[in-house]
Structure 1
């Protein structure tokens, strides 16, 4: 009998190893198809099979999967939003081609276009910020004047807060527009910039699988004008009424966008008019959110997602209710990482579940105001929010690092 295989399209430094491990626990043989498999260090560490193929080329992916079917029983296909979120639409097309369970590619494509997403949500009466689409500097300036500063300016496609910035005055607006249109941002097609009202208030994120709310997190960010996560906590400190309000709006989003298969995460700000939807992401959230959900409720979202992918029924029953939180380690300067210490001490603190580093000494640190600025994280969990917060702060205080400035070249 042919070995059952799970095809993973591209990879992820956070969730990637967890998918490989979960697939193996389920008796599957994970195979990663990636444009450059060598960039995912965990594949070699896990001894996981990887094949180089242009993941932007649907026909090439179909040919490779057809070739693999000569040797394996392909049980399912899924993957990661790398190099861009629209890869999920490609994965949906692959699933349909091979008659496998997967997301609706048309719904995913619409959702990944933030302007189209905004239009669909607005038509369904979902609360969203005021927004405009712009293609050049003049249109950006006009849109900001109509909405009123401060505004959020971001590409209409992209992930990980790439190109997203809070513009508080005219000079910041002009500077960021120049960055986006002047070559600092890589556009896959003609530039389309979304200018949005800055919805101010606490941040929450609802995590769903199918049409079921699995959990709602709270989070905060590092200093503006960027939106790099500082800490994420499950569950969010919400009243029953607030939880129901966010859950209802989340389900309205799924219906408006034609989603409802597999994992989705929906970002909110709680404003004076209640929960306002910032973005709907038609995928599992990046690490370590799935780990936090498992610690909080005993639900392994990655395991359950794979079960959906291979056509099995998933189990989202909550086994317990704890508080879990992750603090990102984010440097405050650019340069070369000299050393980082204290991670072993932090890992030994009772209640600390994981200390993860993405860098090693001699690594160049160049902050871009995106999720990749994070050089690691610490996760803690306990029965109470106050206890988890205290454990996490104690562990983070034990970790320190040194970053040497880049040498200044003489002109």
Structure 2
């Protein structure tokens, strides 16, 4: 009998990539990664994971590679990711359909990938969202901001990880960021299209779903404006039963409006004066460390359950226990050379700490970009309650030495 293989399209060094490999191994599957550059994922080498160089933007090329693998293996399932890029996950849906395997709806993924299309569909379904306009040039941006009213959020209609997202509080900031987006500094993978949105203030929440079920809701805090980069998150969010129900109801409305409902998704909200307002629907599993927080808090391994779903097996989303987990991101306070980042072992030894991970090595040049690429590490903790968890996080973070010398 041929060995059962689990195909991963691309990967992720910082976050979920290695955890998918581990989940596949636990389920007695042979993980194989297809990537345009396998060397970018360090765990493939260190763990001896089979990897094949392939053009992952080319459906025909991926079909050929998978067809060749079928001569040796029984392909049990296919999934994939590339950082926060939904385009890879849309390709996964097309591959799964071609090989008659369980998988996401690629058309629904692509609709979500374009945030303007996503906004249009949510608005049509009556889902609460910020006021918005779409722009393709500087004149459009200026008139859109005037129509929505300053301050506004200005961001690429296609993108993720808060790349290119900024709060513009006045006309000078608006002109500056428009020049950044359209003047050649921002890298566009498609024709430039900009969303100009109302600034919805209030606490930030992320609903994690699998299929048509809301697993739980995470709370997140971002750093100083005008950027939106998470500095800490906790799970589950400290919500009343009524608040939780309202966010869960809106989350399910989003899934229906966008044609989702297979596999994982994460939906971002602001709690405003009018209640929960949808900031963004991501038709994929959230990036690290959210899956770890869910597992620590509830005992639900979203990655393993996603793999089970992708190979056609029964999943189990029942909570095994209940505690509070939180993560603190390590962020630079200046640009310069990273002289040292040390104390990880000391921090990890603190009771209640689950993980300490550094993303960069000493002597690395640090140039802040105002998005997820600024993270240089994270610390994760768990305990029976939020106050103890946050205190544990702080004790661990205090043991980490971080020094940056300005250029």
TM over 0.5: yes
Structure 2 CA distance for aligned equivalents of residues 27 and 45 of structure 1: 20
Q: Show CA shifts across 1:213-250 (max 9, x none).
A: 11100010111111111001001010000000000000
Tell me the residue number matched to 2:9: 9
Q: TM-score, normalised by structure 1?
A: 0.98
Tell me the residue number matched to 2:127: 126
Tell me the residue number matched to 1:158: 159
RMSD between aligned residues? 0.9
Tell me the residue number matched to 1:104: 105
Tell me how far 1:341 sits from its aligned partner: 1.7
Structure 2 CA distance for aligned equivalents of residues 156 and 280 of structure 1: 13
Tell me the residue number matched to 1:254: 255
Tell me how far 1:338 sits from its aligned partner: 1.1
Tell me the residue number matched to 2:218: 217
Q: Is the 8 A contact 2:84 2:287 kept in 1?
A: no
Structure 1 CA distance for aligned equivalents of residues 37 and 118 of structure 2: 30
Q: Show CA shifts across 1:380-405 (max 9, x none).
A: 00011111111011111111211122
Tell me how far 1:84 sits from its aligned partner: 3.0
Tell me the residue number matched to 1:362: 363
Tell me the residue number matched to 1:67: 68
Q: Show CA shifts across 1:287-315 (max 9, x none).
A: 01000000000000000000000011110
Matched, 1:384 2:372: no
Structure 2 CA distance for aligned equivalents of residues 52 and 404 of structure 1: 38
Tell me the residue number matched to 1:37: 38
Q: Is the 8 A contact 2:84 2:161 kept in 1?
A: no
Tell me how far 1:54 sits from its aligned partner: 1.0
Structure 2 CA distance for aligned equivalents of residues 354 and 262 of structure 1: 26
- Aligned partner of residue 163 in structure 1, secondary structure: coil
Matched, 1:314 2:315: yes
Q: Is the 8 A contact 2:153 2:197 kept in 1?
A: yes
Structure 1: tracts of 5 or more residues without a match: 407-411
Tell me how far 1:82 sits from its aligned partner: 4.4
Structure 2 CA distance for aligned equivalents of residues 56 and 218 of structure 1: 34
Structure 1 CA distance for aligned equivalents of residues 406 and 205 of structure 2: 36
- Aligned partner of residue 304 in structure 1, secondary structure: helix
Structure 2 CA distance for aligned equivalents of residues 84 and 284 of structure 1: 11
- Aligned partner of residue 86 in structure 1, secondary structure: helix
Tell me the residue number matched to 1:94: 95
- Aligned partner of residue 75 in structure 2, secondary structure: strand
Most deviating of 57-66 and 76-85: 76-85
Tell me the residue number matched to 1:201: 202
Tell me the residue number matched to 1:409: none
Q: TM-score, normalised by structure 2?
A: 0.98
Structure 1 CA distance for aligned equivalents of residues 327 and 50 of structure 2: 30
